[in-house]
Amino acid sequence: MGKSGGMWMAFFRGRYLHSLDAKGRVAIPQRFRESLGGGDEALRLVMTVDPEGCLVVYPEAVWQELEGKWHSLPQMNDELKTYLRFMVGWASDGALDRQGRILVPPPLREYAGLEHDVWFVGVLQNFEIWNGDRLEKATGRDRVRSVTQKLSGLF
Amino acid sequence: MGKSGGMWMAFFRGRYLHSLDAKGRVAIPQRFRESLGGGDEALRLVMTVDPEGCLVVYPEAVWQELEGKWHSLPQMNDELKTYLRFMVGWASDGALDRQGRILVPPPLREYAGLEHDVWFVGVLQNFEIWNGDRLEKATGRDRVRSVTQKLSGLF
DNA sequence: CCACATTCCCCCACTTTTCCCCACGAATCA
DNA sequence: TGATTCGTGGGGAAAAGTGGGGGAATGTGG
């Protein structure tokens, strides 16, 4: 399922409830691990923050692409600097341990308000890690309905 | 009827009452299985949620087309992010087991309020899975009547 | 340069979930 | 009335997630 199907793009989909243990570790959903990297090698990733109040996780390759874009931008204005201070300043790169877990650094844990229960949410190219209450607010039906209305013209 | 008639399009039609077992599995109506995939191969599908409070199931091919469209849009847009968090964030892809059943992941089960009895409703390109009470409310005559009036110009 | 504390990561053990298989009963059709 | 199809239920192996002990690495303060 989702894995060897052939031309099935390696997108992240779905939501999973996992638990952050006392050491600050959390297991990446198996489904996401499959989308993370080729074969059974490194599985490196980059984690940073999102203004919505959650963490965002990119496969290393995707992140590098982003950095390339930022680096090649013509001029460095204040807005870009603010943006980079945010995205890059919070970024933490790492790898999965042998049990498929990552260690969430304390500052990121605090930023996203992560306690014991955390939600993983796949959004195609990357996935997010949420505090349950915040996620609920961000995906409430009322909000989704209005957004759906606006976007429905696009497809 | 409906099935082998020749140029009969493989749309989903009709409603069926099935039961979710203790393990969260439910059999896909045979009629729907026929419309799902070519021949007797994979029969892969993607299940997600609808703001109305039910689940939506797409054949894999239909879903991929949607993802392709989303993927081609500017990913930094907040509204798109909210939309993806909803549609993709709830998505679950899988295949039928040997008895033609799917496993409904607990979060989706809870979202749609699915207990033992669940309704399958075909709506052309995809089909939905409903809690009985919610379905009744969503398809009440009064509501349908007013909607029908609004649409009457379209066909 | 050397204790000491802290952090991180490996390994192991346990519980829960998922999935594959077989079997039964009702309905349908010949 | 026998055979086939379809929906339902459950056993059991495999996989995935969780928690904790302990050693290596890192960093800090004398």
pLDDT at A3 over 60: no
Q: What is the pLDDT of residues A100-110, one digit of tens each?
A: 999 999 999 99
Q: Would you call A144 and B44 a contact, using CB atoms and an 8 Å cutoff?
A: no
Provide the pLDDT for residue A113. Answer: 96
pLDDT at B42 over 50: yes
Q: How far is the CA of B46 from the C1' of C7 (A)?
A: 42
- Determine the number of helices (DSSP H) and then strands (DSSP E) in chain A: 6, 8
Q: What is the mean pLDDT of residues A123-140?
A: 95
Considering CB atoms only, which of B51, B81, B91 is closest to A13? B91
Q: Which residues of B touch A52 (CB under 8 A)?
A: 81
What's the gap in Å between the CA of B142 and the closest CA on chain A? 22
What is the overall mean pLDDT for chain A?
89
**8 A C-beta contact, residue A108 and residue A92:** yes
pLDDT at A5 over 50: no
Q: Which residues of B touch A128 (CB under 8 A)?
A: 85
pLDDT at B39 over 80: no
Provide the pLDDT for residue B35. Answer: 87
Strand D positions closer than 7 A to protein CB: 5-11, 15-20
Alpha helices by DSSP H, chain A: 30-36, 60-71, 78-87, 106-111, 132-138, 141-151
Provide the pLDDT for residue B10. Answer: 79
Q: Would you call A124 and B83 a contact, using CB atoms and an 8 Å cutoff?
A: no
**CB contact set of B38 (below 8 Å; sequence gap of 6+):** none
Highest mean pLDDT pick, A7-11, A45-49, B141-145: A45-49
Provide the pLDDT for residue A7. Answer: 55
Q: What is the mean pLDDT of residues B25-43?
A: 81
Provide the pLDDT for residue A32. Answer: 96
What's the gap in Å between the CA of B105 and the closest CA on chain A? 9
Q: How far is the CA of A12 from the C1' of C11 (A)?
A: 30
Q: Within 7 Å: CB of A145 and strand C?
A: no
Q: Within 7 Å: CB of B94 and strand C?
A: yes
Domains in chain B with CATH codes = 15-62+91-151 (3.40.1550.20)
- Cβ burial of B46 (10 Å; 0-12, 13-18, 19+) is buried
* Main-chain phi, psi angles of A51, to 5 degrees: -60, -20
pLDDT band at residue A42, thresholds of 50, 70 and 90? low
Q: Would you call A154 and B42 a contact, using CB atoms and an 8 Å cutoff?
A: no
Question: Which residue places its CA closest to the C1' of nucleotide C17?
Answer: B23
Q: What is the pLDDT of residues B75-130, one digit of tens each?
A: 999 999 999 999 999 999 999 998 999 999 999 999 999 999 999 999 999 999 99
The nucleotide whose C1' lies nearest the CA of B102 is C19
* Main-chain phi, psi angles of A141, to 5 degrees: -60, -40
Q: Within 7 Å: CB of B106 and strand C?
A: yes
pLDDT at B29 over 90: yes
pLDDT at B149 over 80: yes
Please tell me which residue of chain A has the smallest CA distance to B60: A8
Provide the pLDDT for residue A66. Answer: 95
